[in-house]
């Protein structure tokens, strides 16, 4: 089924009208507590999600609702400061719209970042984990419903959900910078309650290394649309039952700040490399 005149076309039109130079091929979605990464961007234009029809207005502390257009170490980039989560009660449409809008604007590479709990004791809070695959435990698939052929096929491949070339490139940068970047599988739960220790044990058996409440639907939509995805989790806590402590969003935000510093350094070096 072909759909036209969606909010996606309107949003893409608004964004394109504000880009004076080269259309960015990279977009970056910032996860909880990773907002400071945006400070690294030389911003040319900021667009509030309020002005982009169909974009989600975030309701969670640690998430802004604005799009930054500019450059990062000389590379044109679009940065989404804030995303919709299913646990906020947002419809799947609110997750789809920003990603398909980026595709329509001309973005080819999508960097998804998130705050996550780690299932591996050796990757404690402050660590970064390069996502090499995902497990959709959210209970939803954002492609359910009529397929929009403009973006991709009815049945889309997820064999290389997190692009091997992008992973190799960022791993090389991490190595050169002395930043630890282990790879791992991200499992998404819908939330908003954190997991039980029994769930975490089950997820470990399933092969998960990090757990969070975002990223998976965005990755599915991006793959469907033929975009390359790079995913990085910043570990804010050891998953439930691993540390003996209760989990809290405040801790997530606080610990996220440490990982955000490493993530800033990593992405700055990556973009410096590709623009040279
Ligand atoms: N579980 C789910 N989502 C999260 C966690 C967690 O432990 N930490 C940060 N986001």
CA of 188 to the centre of ligand 1 (A): 9
So what's the pLDDT on residue 256?
67
Q: Terminal CA-to-CA distance of the chain, rounded, Å?
A: 42
pLDDT above 60 (res 4): no
Token digits for 43? 């911003």
C-alpha to C-alpha distance for 5 and 204, rounded to whole angstroms: 44
Q: What is the DSSP string of 102-169?
A: HHHHT--EEEEEEEEEESSTTS-TT-EEEEEEEEE-SS--TT-SS--TTT--SS---TTSS-HHHHHH
C-alpha to C-alpha distance for 85 and 115, rounded to whole angstroms: 12
Token digits for 263? 């993530």
Does the beta carbon of 234 sit less than 6 angstroms from any atom of ligand 1?
no
Model pLDDT for residues 145-190, shown as the tens digit of each residue: 999 999 999 999 999 999 999 999 999 999 999 999 999 999 999 9
C-alpha to C-alpha distance for 225 and 114, rounded to whole angstroms: 21
pLDDT above 70 (res 19): yes
C-alpha to C-alpha distance for 166 and 172, rounded to whole angstroms: 10
Least confident of 55-69, 192-206, 229-243: 55-69
Does the beta carbon of 212 sit less than 6 angstroms from any atom of ligand 1?
yes
Helix (H, G, I), strand (E, B) or coil at 115: strand
pLDDT above 90 (res 225): yes
pTM equals: 0.94
Distance of CA 253 to the CA centre of its chain: 16
| Domains of the chain, start order | 7-275 (3.40.50.1580)
- The reply to whether 1 belongs to the active site is no
Atom 10 of ligand 1, nearest CA residue: 116
What is the average pLDDT score of the chain?
91
C-alpha to C-alpha distance for 205 and 270, rounded to whole angstroms: 33
Which residue out of 83, 190, 213 has the highest number of ligand 1 atoms within 8 Å of its CB and is therefore the one to mutate? 213
């Amino acid at each position: 089924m072909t759909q036209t005149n969606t909010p996606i076309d309107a949003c893409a039109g608004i964004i394109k009208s504000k880009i004076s130079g080269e259309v960015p091929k990279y977009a970056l979605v910032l996860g909880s507590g990773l907002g400071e990464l945006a400070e690294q961007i030389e911003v040319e234009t900021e667009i509030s999600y309020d002005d982009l029809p169909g974009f989600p207005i975030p309701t969670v502390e640690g998430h802004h609702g604005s799009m930054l257009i500019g450059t990062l170490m000389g590379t044109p980039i679009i940065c989404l400061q804030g995303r919709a989560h299913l646990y906020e009660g947002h419809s799947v449409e609110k997750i789809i719209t920003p990603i398909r809008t980026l595709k329509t604007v001309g973005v080819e590479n999508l960097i998804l970042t998130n705050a996550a709990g780690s299932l591996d004791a050796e990757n404690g809070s402050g660590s970064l984990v390069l996502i090499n695959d995902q497990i959709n435990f959210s209970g939803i698939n954002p492609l359910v419903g009529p397929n929009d052929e403009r973006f991709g096929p009815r049945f889309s491949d997820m064999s290389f959900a997190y692009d091997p070339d992008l992973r190799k490139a960022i791993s090389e940068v991490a190595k050169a910078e002395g930043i630890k970047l282990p790879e791992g599988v991200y499992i998404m739960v819908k939330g908003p309650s954190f997991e039980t220790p029994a769930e975490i044990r089950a997820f470990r058996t399933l092969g998960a290394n990090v757990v969070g409440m975002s990223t998976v639907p965005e990755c599915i939509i991006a793959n469907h649309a033929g975009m390359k995805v790079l995913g990085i989790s910043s570990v804010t806590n050891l998953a439930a039952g691993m540390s003996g402590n209760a989990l809290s969003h405040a801790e997530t935000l606080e610990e996220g700040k440490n990982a955000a510093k490493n993530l800033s350094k990593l992405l700055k070096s990556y973009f410096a490399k590709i623009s040279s």
